[in-house]
Amino acid sequence: MCPSRPTRDPATPLREAILQEARTLLEGEGYAALSTRRIASAVGCTATSIYLHFKSKDSLIYALIDEGFEELNRRVVEVSKGDGNALSLLHDVARAYVDFGLERPEYYEIMFMLRAEQMERYPVDAYRRARRSLDVFAELTALPAQEAARRGAIVWSTLHGLVSLLIAQRIDISLDREALIEDSIHSACLGAFAALPSGANSA
Amino acid sequence: MCPSRPTRDPATPLREAILQEARTLLEGEGYAALSTRRIASAVGCTATSIYLHFKSKDSLIYALIDEGFEELNRRVVEVSKGDGNALSLLHDVARAYVDFGLERPEYYEIMFMLRAEQMERYPVDAYRRARRSLDVFAELTALPAQEAARRGAIVWSTLHGLVSLLIAQRIDISLDREALIEDSIHSACLGAFAALPSGANSA
DNA sequence: GTCTTACAGTTTACGCTGTCAACCTGGAAT
DNA sequence: ATTCCAGGTTGACAGCGTAAACTGTAAGAC
């Protein structure tokens, strides 16, 4: 009970406090509100102190991105272990992906919707590992590797298009949202299993 | 041949010169490089002069967005007037959409990939008009309005997912790009015409 | 018990951003 | 000749990420 240390809780080390505040700010006000100075003032330190614990602002964001991927992976892997045929499993996994995006739009935004040049510095291996849940799409097609990879990418990009446009509020609000989502997921699953031009001659 | 006016060509009025420089900068270095001061110095005026011709930096961007939509609309409408059944027309229109995105990625980025809060101020009616080409997807399904709108949205979001991930370089480069594109387009067309869950009971 | 070293902060500063308020200036209208 | 105004400039403000230099404090070595 020493009386020193005025503003910040000394129990949580600064790094964790910064991360916590970044999370709060991201979820509460979105990526655009994340500035080093805002985080610092909310946490009770100076902006430059952040650089004692993170190489750059980007690497702080990457920590949040990692957390996002962890949750997405957890959700997807859990659903993928359910029972049912490949098609219904794929449907459920796709649903889990979409639900994640719509329930945690701020995380989805920094994970998948940030500008490429900003993302470039994200370590490649970390990205591979992080995207692990996307491979589930490919695996569920039970096709030869190359073909599966393409089908997985098709499913992913279809779902990503839906989620990103919904998050950005670019889809006409007069549309029945739930019907659109369910139909899109079905369409994505079709894209995974239906006959497609490259299917015959790409193995 | 009056000897005054050192830097800027007096023939082109400033507004057009600003737009031209913004175009050049966007295409050459991308959206992130677009700053009022850079535009101004390249054009030979001060940054604040831009505000004599545009309400804000955003409204300057909107002018570029409008140009992008104009080109996209032109491409899509032209292709949609070709002959062939609805399916092959839809395929060609989808291809035109994807080609536009991949050939003019910087324009696609400001048109479809900018953050929502930034886009909010874009006038609603302008957006409706601008998105005209997206309605072509819906019209080609030849379905009742509501159902067509949903199918059109599915096609659009599928293509948008593909284009945006390709632009952001998030698709595994080991994939055969052309095969992925062609398969995605086919999958999108499937989504427009195949039986989907909401199809039966939504009219 | 003093000296050293290292860590964990702060202060200050630089160059960049969009934008506003005030000022200036040349030419047309009265 | 005077006034007005469109179209520019200058200067400033608040905010951004971040680098460099400085400070206080705690632990270890002698």
The domains of chain B are located at 1-54, 57-199
CATH architecture of A7-54: Orthogonal Bundle (1.10)
pLDDT of residue A3: 34
pLDDT of residue B3: 35
Q: Which of B146, B168, B183 sits opposite A197 (nearest CB)?
A: B183
pLDDT of residue A8: 65
- By C1' distance from the Cα of B49, the closest nucleotide is D8
Q: Span B100-117, mean pLDDT?
A: 92
Q: Span B108-126, mean pLDDT?
A: 79
Decide: CB of B43 under 7 A of nucleic strand D.
no
Decide: CB of A24 under 7 A of nucleic strand D.
no
For residue B129, name the pLDDT band (cuts at 50, 70, 90).
confident
Calculate the alpha carbon distances from A71 to A60, A66, A90, B148, B187 in Å.
17, 9, 18, 35, 29
Give chain B's length. Answer: 203
pLDDT of residue B201: 46
pLDDT of residue B62: 94
Residue B179 to residue A162, Cβ atoms within 8 A = no
Which of the 8 DSSP states describes residue B84?
Answer: S
CATH fold, domain B1-54, is Arc Repressor Mutant, subunit A (1.10.10)
Decide: CB of B56 under 7 A of nucleic strand C.
yes
Q: Which amino acid is at A184?
A: S
B124 has a pLDDT exceeding 80: no
Per-residue pLDDT in tens (0 to 9) along chain A, 203 residues:
333 334 566 666 889 999 999 999 999 999 999 999 999 999 999 999 999 999 999 999 999 999 999 999 999 999 999 999 999 999 999 999 999 999 999 999 999 999 766 666 677 777 777 888 999 999 999 999 999 999 999 999 999 999 999 999 999 999 999 999 999 999 999 999 999 998 654 44
Are B198 and A183 contacting, i.e. CB atoms less than 8 angstroms apart? yes
Decide: CB of B186 under 7 A of nucleic strand C.
no
HEC secondary structure over chain A = CCCCCCCCCCCCCHHHHHHHHHHHHHHHHCHHHCCHHHHHHHHCCCHHHHHHCCCCHHHHHHHHHHHHHHHHHHHHHHHHCCCCCHHHHHHHHHHHHHHHHHHCHHHHHHHHCCCHHHHCCCCHHHHHHHCHHHHHHHHHCCCCHHHHHHHHHHHHHHHHHHHHHHHCCCCCCCCCHHHHHHHHHHHHHHHHHCCCHHHCCCC
pLDDT of residue A131: 85
Distance of CA B196 to the CA centre of its chain: 28
Q: Which of B160, B196, B202 sits opposite A165 (nearest CB)?
A: B160
Are A97 and B161 contacting, i.e. CB atoms less than 8 angstroms apart? no
CATH fold, domain A57-196, is Tetracycline Repressor; domain 2 (1.10.357)
* Contact list, B194 vs chain A (CB under 8 Å): 187, 190, 194
Unique residue bearing structure tokens 């996002």: A68
pLDDT of residue A201: 47
For residue B122, name the pLDDT band (cuts at 50, 70, 90).
confident
A198 CB within 8 Å of a chain B CB? yes
Q: Span B89-109, mean pLDDT?
A: 98
B5 has a pLDDT exceeding 50: no
pLDDT of residue A11: 60
B1 has a pLDDT exceeding 50: no
Which nucleotides of chain D have an atom under 7 angstroms from any protein CB? 7-12, 15-21
**Rounded CA–C1' distance between B4 and D8, in angstroms:** 15
**Rounded CA–C1' distance between B10 and C30, in angstroms:** 29
Decide: CB of A56 under 7 A of nucleic strand D.
yes
Question: Which chain B residue's Cα is nearest to A154?
Answer: B184
**Rounded CA–C1' distance between A52 and C8, in angstroms:** 8
Stretch 150-169 of chain A: residues touching chain B, C-beta under 8 Å: 150-151, 153-154, 156-162, 164-165, 167-169
Model pLDDT for residues B144-196, shown as the tens digit of each residue: 999 999 999 999 999 999 999 999 999 999 999 999 999 999 999 999 999 89
pLDDT of residue B177: 97
- Best of B91, B158, B167 to disrupt the A interface (most A CBs within 10 Å) is B158
B116 has a pLDDT exceeding 70: no
Decide: CB of A182 under 7 A of nucleic strand D.
no
For residue B11, name the pLDDT band (cuts at 50, 70, 90).
low
pLDDT of residue A144: 94
Q: HSE of B68 in the Cβ direction (CA atoms, 13 Å)?
A: 27
* Contact list, A126 vs chain B (CB under 8 Å): none
A41 CB within 8 Å of a chain B CB? no
Model pLDDT for residues B34-54, shown as the tens digit of each residue: 999 999 999 999 999 999 999
pLDDT of residue A200: 52
pLDDT of residue B131: 85
- Whole-number Å distance between alpha carbons of A3 and A20: 25
Question: Which chain A residue's Cα is nearest to B189?
Answer: A187
Are B163 and B102 contacting, i.e. CB atoms less than 8 angstroms apart? yes
Record the tokens describing residue A68, joined without a space: 């996002």
CATH architecture of B57-199: Orthogonal Bundle (1.10)
- Whole-number Å distance between alpha carbons of B89 and A60: 47
pLDDT of residue A5: 33
**Better-scored residue on pLDDT, A37 or B128:** A37
pLDDT of residue A10: 61
Quote the crossing angle between the two packed helices A36-43 and A14-29, to the nearest 10°: 120
Are A156 and B180 contacting, i.e. CB atoms less than 8 angstroms apart? no
pLDDT of residue B148: 96
Q: Which of A177-186, B3-12, B114-123 has the highest mean pLDDT?
A: A177-186
Stretch 75-104 of chain B: residues touching chain A, C-beta under 8 Å: none
B4 CB within 8 Å of a chain A CB? no
**Averaged pLDDT of chain B:** 90
Count of other CB atoms within 10 angstroms of residue B5:
9
